[in-house]
A and B are shown apart, each in its own frame.
Chain A
């Protein structure tokens, strides 16, 4: 191998140094944002307390101050975002399980333990002989004896007290209560093992058993958070996440809907900084965030990986919060736990069948939505198509004289222009809809007309505007194509058929109805079949106006699974099933309506 050596001149040396300088500048420029973003590549920072125990709960009261409670009477306090921790004297040795804050912190624990930090000293206000208490909620406090304190624990026990005395409330339950949350002094929710959801609207005078979604009826619920008067969240074992469905006049917490977290671990804590921004934590060091009320979750990163179980999370606001867990784990964030590299909690599937099992119900929902708009659009499109085809072949004429013509007998005759408004309307219509993109028609009808004040939901009887827009757009578009197809069928019928009908005394409309149309439609069944299949395929454009049909369901699936090949493959199969069945239905209709002795049908 030969190599050419360059003779270095002063010029080339200068040239090299310029390049080096530029390279260095670029590197520095690149490294600045890298260095700046260093802090946000990890969402949660481990902040060791130096105390070795399991931490069960945490409450953060502002950007710097927080209390942590744990086993064997442990209480820690920080006033500098966790950089230093002070061990406080709880005066008890029972395991402390939950902490809350209202003017002062309150703690509950095993064996009926209840503590309140009065004037800087933890004061024991325990229920003697009480059960293990898992949750505490305080809706009012001025001093002991003038407070509203709720505590909940094993055996379905919930107590209400003023700080001096506690009275058991009638829950009617015997399963362990694991979490409790009050929105105000009247409205509260409590959750427990075996799918128990209790609600009160009268300050725990009475508790009602609320409906649990059937598929999670035996799941253990571990925590509940009553965010606002329109929203509450529940977490439980096996990654279960429930969101309250809001009902007018009834309030919330009566109906719950399960949302997929994509997490396959037991969840132990939930907290929210706003109605839709919710953190969940659980086993194996799991912490995840949803910003859309549970539709999609994002896993959050820890700077020190752990497999410990996380027990509680407390967010001061959307940025700052603490979370604690077993094996002395305490983490802090000032970025809401988010990093620039966060990924959705993509579900893992071991096989295609496992995935198909997961995807099928969602795709089936989409399929049903697709079939719904297709059925309506076929009906309205066909009606429109027949009407327009009748317009196009109509004989309604307003003769307008416009000149003269010379007859074969050398006499001049007036020439007429056959003005047919129906035909002109139909022609303009079909030309408009066949010569513009369907996608733009969708956008125009859904967004354009809406801005111009055409609200379809006021005309029809459903509030689902995207659904209506999709039907209107598909029907209007398909009507134009079907009109052309049916017109060709009508024009294929010999004029003698019309003469025969009319000579019998039938009116024009009767002749069309009983003689021309039945034959014309039979002729055009095959091209109509094509158009119907096209309509199904075109219905996927409803995706762009936010109608959750099959294609959009596929897209949503990919957002949580990242399985593009499997998802789109399945979507294709689902579309194929619909269109293939439709073509067969059309073929069956064609066969059924075939006129014996008419048309070449392969008999010869």
Chain B
């Protein structure tokens, strides 16, 4: 790893205890460097989504530190709305705004957060939409789109804000197998353009293909992390078990 470069995202000893007493994340640390694609894999309940949400403070970390470059995200004094605008996020269930047309979905953040004019916002939005190949749908409502199209709009929405890093929370889990391809293609395209990304996914093949760094989490801890090679030759027994189960299913 390039140790003399400032990481885009730096997670240090992150812990999260939910109010019910569930200790979801038990001291997780990792760095994400510019242009790097970090893929977090793990079974359900392993805490990977919690880690992702702690990064843009949708979930308040109980302990530890999270940095965006040199700004501590989980500091009370930080302007969290500005930090969030610098971190794009794509959700499992798309979370498009159903009452807005596709173009308005993408321009909302540009207008209300960045304060751009209509023309400027539209121009940026159309570029982002073109990148995910749905320029023909800008006047449609989300309800009129397929799942794959919706997720690509969600990617365009995050991308339009020109974020320093993008977070993907199981972006293909809610999609039919035949629709996954188009979404993965869009993500791969971003990776090739040098976008820094943290991806939580169950798609092992995709992780292997696009990931620069793989983190395997189980029961709130990072069990194993390394180059995508670890997916082919896991060192820990738990990862090989996990991979075995996934491959069986596929």
Identify the A interface with B (CB < 8 A). Answer: 405-409, 411, 413, 415-416, 494, 496-497, 499-507, 510, 514-515, 518-519, 522, 595-598
Would you call B21 and A406 a contact (CB within 8 A)? yes
Contact with A along B92-115 (1 / 0, CB 8 A): 010111110000000011001100
Would you call A505 and B82 a contact (CB within 8 A)? yes
Query: In the complex, what's the smallest C-beta–C-beta distance from B50 to chain A, in angstroms?
Result: 13
Which chain A positions have C-beta within 8 A of B96? Answer: 500
Contact with A along B73-95 (1 / 0, CB 8 A): 00000000110111111010101
Enumerate 19 A-B pairs (CB-CB under 8 Å) in ascending A order. A407-B21, A408-B21, A494-B93, A496-B93, A496-B95, A499-B53, A500-B91, A500-B95, A502-B58, A503-B56, A505-B85, A505-B86, A506-B81, A506-B108, A514-B97, A595-B99, A595-B143, A596-B143, A598-B98
Which chain A positions have C-beta within 8 A of B26? Answer: 409
Which chain A positions have C-beta within 8 A of B86? Answer: 505
Bound state CA distance, A518 and B84, in angstroms? 23
Query: In the complex, what's the smallest C-beta–C-beta distance from B211 to chain A, in angstroms?
Result: 22
Would you call A408 and B143 a contact (CB within 8 A)? no
Residues of B in contact (CB 8 Å), total 38
Contacts A406-B21, A503-B56, A504-B113; is A518 near B99 (CB within 8 Å)? yes
Contact with A along B3-17 (1 / 0, CB 8 A): 000000000000001
Bound state CA distance, A356 and B218, in angstroms? 81
Contacts A504-B157, A518-B99; is A596 near B141 (CB within 8 Å)? yes
Would you call B81 and A507 a contact (CB within 8 A)? yes
Bound state CA distance, A405 and B20, in angstroms? 8
Query: In the complex, what's the smallest C-beta–C-beta distance from A81 to chain B, in angstroms?
Result: 85
Contact with A along B140-154 (1 / 0, CB 8 A): 111111000000000
Q: Is B161 an interface residue (CB 8 A)?
A: yes
Bound state CA distance, A411 and B17, in angstroms? 10
Which chain A positions have C-beta within 8 A of B97? Answer: 497, 500-501, 514-515, 519
Bound state CA distance, A85 and B156, in angstroms? 110
Contacts A416-B19, A494-B93; is A597 near B143 (CB within 8 Å)? yes
Would you call B109 and A504 a contact (CB within 8 A)? yes
Bound state CA distance, A447 and B30, in angstroms? 69
Which chain B positions have C-beta within 8 A of A409? Answer: 23, 26
Query: In the complex, what's the smallest C-beta–C-beta distance from A576 to chain B, in angstroms?
Result: 33
- Of all chain B residues, the one with the shortest Cβ separation from A496 is B95
A406, A497, A595: which contacts B95 (Cβ < 8 A)? A497
Q: Is B1 an interface residue (CB 8 A)?
A: no
Query: In the complex, what's the smallest C-beta–C-beta distance from A502 to chain B, in angstroms?
Result: 6
5 closest A-B pairs by beta carbon, nearest first, are A597-B143, A505-B85, A500-B95, A505-B113, A503-B89
Query: In the complex, what's the smallest C-beta–C-beta distance from B66 to chain A, in angstroms?
Result: 14
Query: In the complex, what's the smallest C-beta–C-beta distance from B168 to chain A, in angstroms?
Result: 12
Contacts A409-B26, A504-B109; is A597 near B141 (CB within 8 Å)? yes
Contacts A408-B22, A496-B93; is A503 near B84 (CB within 8 Å)? yes
Bound state CA distance, A226 and B211, in angstroms? 102
Bound state CA distance, A413 and B26, in angstroms? 14
Contacts A504-B84, A504-B85, A597-B141; is A499 near B58 (CB within 8 Å)? yes
Interface centre among B56, B81, B96, B99 (most CB of A within 10 A): B99
Bound state CA distance, A501 and B119, in angstroms? 22
Query: In the complex, what's the smallest C-beta–C-beta distance from B154 to chain A, in angstroms?
Result: 8
Query: In the complex, what's the smallest C-beta–C-beta distance from B243 to chain A, in angstroms?
Result: 26
Contacts A406-B21, A504-B157, A597-B142; is A494 near B95 (CB within 8 Å)? yes
Bound state CA distance, A411 and B23, in angstroms? 9
Given contacts A416-B19, A504-B84, A595-B98, 7 further A-B contacts (CB under 8 A): A409-B26, A497-B95, A499-B91, A503-B88, A504-B85, A514-B97, A598-B98
Bound state CA distance, A413 and B62, in angstroms? 11
Contacts A496-B93, A597-B142; is A514 near B112 (CB within 8 Å)? yes
- Of all chain B residues, the one with the shortest Cβ separation from A597 is B143
Which chain A positions have C-beta within 8 A of B84? Answer: 502-505
Bound state CA distance, A209 and B140, in angstroms? 71
Query: In the complex, what's the smallest C-beta–C-beta distance from B78 to chain A, in angstroms?
Result: 13
Which chain B positions have C-beta within 8 A of A407? Answer: 17, 21-23
Bound state CA distance, A407 and B220, in angstroms? 14
Query: In the complex, what's the smallest C-beta–C-beta distance from A411 to chain B, in angstroms?
Result: 7
- Of all chain B residues, the one with the shortest Cβ separation from A510 is B112
Bound state CA distance, A496 and B95, in angstroms? 6
Which chain A positions have C-beta within 8 A of B109? Answer: 504-506
Query: In the complex, what's the smallest C-beta–C-beta distance from B220 to chain A, in angstroms?
Result: 9
Bound state CA distance, A503 and B142, in angstroms? 19
Which chain A positions have C-beta within 8 A of B56? Answer: 503
- Of all chain A residues, the one with the shortest Cβ separation from B143 is A597
